[in-house]
Amino acid sequence: MVADTGSSRLVAARRRSLEAKGAIGILGVAAFGVFLVAARAQAPGHHRRSPRPLAAPESFVRVVRQNLLEAGIIAPAEAPPDAQTAVS
């Protein structure tokens, strides 16, 4: 009779472990579904407006270019010096 009691306890323990594994699996799938729906609700799939290039305004670029030209930092390209011959 002692062996029968141990066997029935083992069967009951295995049944409880299978039920626990099933419950964990079901909860995992349910949590995945909830988080999937929440992520799709929070993240937009497309932009509402078309993207604009990140560039400085044209008036700003014009003023900076003018200031650099006046300071002599940048200047129009100059032609190379003409060829000279030495008097021998």
**Greater confidence, 67 or 26?**
26
Domain that holds residue 36: 1-44
64 in any annotated domain:
no
**What is the H or E stretch that residue 31 is in?**
helix 2-42
83 in any annotated domain:
no
Q: How many independent structural domains does the chain possess?
A: 1
Taking residues 29-54, what's their average pLDDT? 84
What's the pLDDT tens digit per position in 49-72? Answer: 787 778 888 999 999 888 887 877
Residue 1 pLDDT grade (very low, low, confident, very high; cuts 50, 70, 90)? very low
13 in any annotated domain:
yes
Contact 49, 43 (CB under 8 A): no
38 in any annotated domain:
yes
**Greater confidence, 42 or 72?**
42
61 in any annotated domain:
no
Mean pLDDT in the chain?
83
Nearest CA to 65 among 76, 53, 74, 78? Answer: 74
